[in-house]
């Protein structure tokens, strides 16, 4: 086995997943007036003036059908009323390894053709009907990547099949023990670089197999929301680790914050309690904008309780003080992409579900429905540029700047879990995994 990122045989839910995709693509062809849909695995981007390539990231629409990660030379063809076909180009080469194909438990659902000659692939693709839609990052022709088809697919992708939920659950089952290994290295005084290596080693995958670059932010670096550098200073006083792993192309996305400073650790405990409270309120039929508002009220209460801001929580919201400390959205859809598509879509036409006025950058503005998978990730940060803005406002007099300065050394806090919306509430995949993998 070359990797931990693919289930060695297809999960039992895979057959039903492929059936769902066949029906969905058939409906998409009716909806958009196509006779066939061609999905390309992707393209491999060359480095400028070099003979090397950037790591290949498969087209997520391709990956949804089949976990084949390591070649851009693969295509899936959906023709009305026919079994889906997979075409793979695998020329004999002693320079590069052949693509590592999934086994028959996956491939049995397709008609599979492996060609060694690119001309054979061209011959197959050239025989497709004239009305074939193409989803291919390398294709800029007018038949490729049309919005009507993409909107249809993205809207439906936000309701996960059992297989997709199973993949995210398995990805969580790999990431959580890796988080625990990373925490151990932090407690032993390891550097950000050491923590990064511990995460990868426990996850059993290489950096480019992660669904997103792991954020290992020690001390004040946690004030940079996406801190992706590796630091070598040992004995950090705090760690914000935002790291996930993939299973069959589906991501987990988990954040934890730790500190050996008692006062800052107490602040982390409060954010953790708020995060759990917000998770408990997640259920079908609520608007994510309302959950975002609840998060801001919760952050305001914490700022007051820890004597960072001396003002009633509602007044803090009215005076826009909470976005200084919590400047990002409460969460986003999760799936084939870590910020999965469809969060702003009101329907299959791509009509925008408008986020609340106060939070225009929210990545998720839809009503919650059973089958969605999303993150819940409140944060509380000490970000110099935002604090400088606050200093200039009249409300600055209510801020305990001495305490802000003390906490600024630890950068910030984020706690992030992955939730599946169920019929009556939500299943917290991340907390369940932390309980399951805790030493007894
Ligand atoms: Mn996230």
Same domain, 135 and 278: no
Alpha helices (H) in 161-261, listed in sequence order: 162-187, 192-203
Same domain, 67 and 112: yes
φ, ψ for residue 387, nearest 5 deg: -65, -35
φ, ψ for residue 124, nearest 5 deg: -65, -50
Rounded to the nearest angstrom, the distance between the alpha carbon of 373 and the centre of ligand 1 is 12
Rounded to the nearest angstrom, the distance between the alpha carbon of 254 and the centre of ligand 1 is 7
Report yes or no on 1 lying in a domain.
no
Same domain, 286 and 192: yes
Report yes or no on 335 lying in a domain.
yes
Same domain, 209 and 276: yes
CB within 8 Å of 437: residues ≥ 6 apart:
173, 176, 177, 180
pLDDT digits (tens, 9 = 90+) for 98-112: 899 999 999 999 999
Rounded to the nearest angstrom, the distance between the alpha carbon of 72 and the centre of ligand 1 is 27
Please, are residues 408 and 384 in contact by the beta-carbon 8 Å criterion? yes
Report yes or no on 6 lying in a domain.
no
Rounded to the nearest angstrom, the distance between the alpha carbon of 352 and the centre of ligand 1 is 21
Same domain, 295 and 209: yes
Rounded to the nearest angstrom, the distance between the alpha carbon of 334 and the centre of ligand 1 is 8
Mean pLDDT score, 361-369: 86
Same domain, 57 and 131: yes
Same domain, 191 and 218: yes
Mean pLDDT score, 365-387: 96
Residues 300 and 316: their CA atoms lie apart, in Å, by: 6
Give pLDDT, residue 437. 83
Q: What is the pTM of this model?
A: 0.96
User: Which one of 122, 157, 192 terminates a domain?
Assistant: 157
Does pLDDT of 188 surpass 90? yes
Rounded to the nearest angstrom, the distance between the alpha carbon of 134 and the centre of ligand 1 is 30
Rounded to the nearest angstrom, the distance between the alpha carbon of 244 and the centre of ligand 1 is 9
Positions of E strands within 128-173 = 132-135
Which domain range does residue 196 map to?
Answer: 162-436
Give pLDDT, residue 346. 84
Rounded to the nearest angstrom, the distance between the alpha carbon of 338 and the centre of ligand 1 is 7
Same domain, 135 and 213: no
Rg (CA), the chain: 23
pLDDT digits (tens, 9 = 90+) for 13-40: 999 999 999 999 999 999 999 999 999 9
Same domain, 43 and 88: yes
Tell me how crowded residue 432 is: count the other CB atoms within 10 A of its CB. 15
Rounded to the nearest angstrom, the distance between the alpha carbon of 48 and the centre of ligand 1 is 31
Q: Band of the pLDDT at 255, cuts 50, 70, 90?
A: very high
Give pLDDT, residue 66. 97
Rounded to the nearest angstrom, the distance between the alpha carbon of 331 and the centre of ligand 1 is 6
Rounded to the nearest angstrom, the distance between the alpha carbon of 332 and the centre of ligand 1 is 7
Please, are residues 77 and 88 in contact by the beta-carbon 8 Å criterion? no
Residues 202 and 9: their CA atoms lie apart, in Å, by: 22
Give pLDDT, residue 439. 65
Kindly report the CATH number assigned to the domain that includes residue 95. Answer: 3.40.350.10
Same domain, 110 and 214: no
Residue 423 burial (10 A CB sphere; 0-12, 13-18, 19+): exposed
Same domain, 294 and 383: yes
Number of domains observed in the structure of the chain: 2
Same domain, 186 and 131: no
Rounded to the nearest angstrom, the distance between the alpha carbon of 204 and the centre of ligand 1 is 21
Report yes or no on 183 lying in a domain.
yes
Residues 243 and 416: their CA atoms lie apart, in Å, by: 10
Give pLDDT, residue 356. 79
Does pLDDT of 361 surpass 80? no
User: Which one of 102, 123, 157 terminates a domain?
Assistant: 157
Report yes or no on 319 lying in a domain.
yes
Rounded to the nearest angstrom, the distance between the alpha carbon of 243 and the centre of ligand 1 is 9
User: Which one of 129, 157, 185 terminates a domain?
Assistant: 157
Rounded to the nearest angstrom, the distance between the alpha carbon of 327 and the centre of ligand 1 is 14
Tell me how crowded residue 15 is: count the other CB atoms within 10 A of its CB. 15
Rounded to the nearest angstrom, the distance between the alpha carbon of 52 and the centre of ligand 1 is 31
Give pLDDT, residue 440. 54
pLDDT digits (tens, 9 = 90+) for 149-161: 999 999 999 999 9
Mean pLDDT score, 162-171: 98
Give pLDDT, residue 350. 83
Mean pLDDT score, 299-314: 98
Report yes or no on 9 lying in a domain.
no
Rounded to the nearest angstrom, the distance between the alpha carbon of 399 and the centre of ligand 1 is 29
Rounded to the nearest angstrom, the distance between the alpha carbon of 375 and the centre of ligand 1 is 6
- Triad 355, 359, 365: Cα angle to 5°: 25
Q: What is the average pLDDT score of the chain?
A: 95
Kindly report the CATH number assigned to the domain that includes residue 417. Answer: 3.90.230.10
Residues 427 and 372: their CA atoms lie apart, in Å, by: 11
Residues 91 and 98: their CA atoms lie apart, in Å, by: 8
Report yes or no on 23 lying in a domain.
yes
pLDDT digits (tens, 9 = 90+) for 281-305: 999 999 899 999 999 999 999 999 9
> What token pair was written down for 181?
């290994």
* Longest CA–CA separation in the chain, Å: 73
Percent of residues, the chain, with pLDDT higher than 70: 99
Percent of residues, the chain, with pLDDT higher than 90: 88
Report yes or no on 169 lying in a domain.
yes
């Amino acid at each position: 086995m070359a990797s931990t990122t693919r289930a060695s045989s297809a999960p039992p839910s895979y057959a039903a997943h492929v059936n769902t995709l066949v029906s969905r693509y058939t409906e998409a062809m009716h909806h958009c007036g196509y006779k066939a849909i061609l999905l390309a695995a992707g393209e491999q981007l060359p480095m400028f003036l070099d003979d090397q390539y950037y790591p290949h990231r498969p087209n997520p629409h391709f990956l949804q059908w089949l976990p084949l990660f390591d070649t851009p030379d693969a295509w899936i063809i959906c023709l009305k009323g026919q079994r889906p076909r997979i075409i793979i180009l695998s020329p004999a080469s002693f320079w590069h390894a052949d693509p590592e194909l999934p086994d028959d438990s996956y491939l049995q659902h397709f008609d599979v053709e492996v060609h060694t000659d690119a001309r054979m692939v061209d011959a197959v693709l050239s025989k497709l009907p004239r009305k074939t839609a193409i989803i291919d990052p390398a294709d800029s022709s007018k038949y490729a990547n049309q919005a009507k088809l993409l909107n249809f697919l993205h809207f439906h992708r936000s309701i996960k099949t059992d297989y997709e939920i199973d993949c995210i659950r398995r990805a969580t089952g790999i990431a959580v023990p890796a988080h625990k290994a990373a925490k151990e290295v932090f407690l032993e005084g390891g550097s950000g670089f050491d923590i990064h290596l511990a995460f990868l080693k426990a996850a059993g995958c290489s950096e480019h197999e992660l669904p997103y670059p792991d954020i290992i932010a020690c001390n004040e670096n946690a004030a940079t929301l996406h801190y992706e550098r590796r630091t070598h200073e040992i004995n950090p006083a705090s760690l914000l680790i935002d790291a996930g792993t993939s299973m069959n192309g589906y991501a987990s996305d988990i954040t934890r914050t730790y500190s050996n400073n008692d006062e800052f650790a107490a602040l982390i405990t409060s954010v953790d309690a708020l995060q759990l409270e917000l998770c408990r309120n997640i259920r079908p039929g609520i608007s994510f904008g309302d959950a975002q508002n609840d998060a801001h009220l919760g952050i305001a209460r914490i700022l007051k309780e820890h004597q960072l801001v001396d003002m009633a929580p509602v007044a803090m919201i009215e005076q826009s003080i909470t976005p200084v400390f919590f400047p990002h959205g409460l969460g986003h859809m999760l799936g084939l992409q870590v910020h999965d598509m469809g969060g702003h879509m009101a329907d299959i036409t791509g009509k925008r579900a408008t986020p609340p006025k106060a939070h225009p950058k929210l990545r998720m503005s839809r009503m919650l429905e059973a089958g969605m998978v999303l993150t819940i990730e409140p944060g509380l940060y000490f970000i110099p540029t935002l604090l400088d803005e606050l200093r200039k406002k009249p409300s600055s007099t209510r801020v305990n700047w001495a305490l802000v300065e003390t906490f600024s050394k630890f950068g910030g806090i984020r706690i992030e879990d992955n939730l599946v919306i169920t019929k009556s509430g939500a299943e917290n995949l991340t907390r369940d995994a932390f309980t399951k993998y805790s030493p007894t």
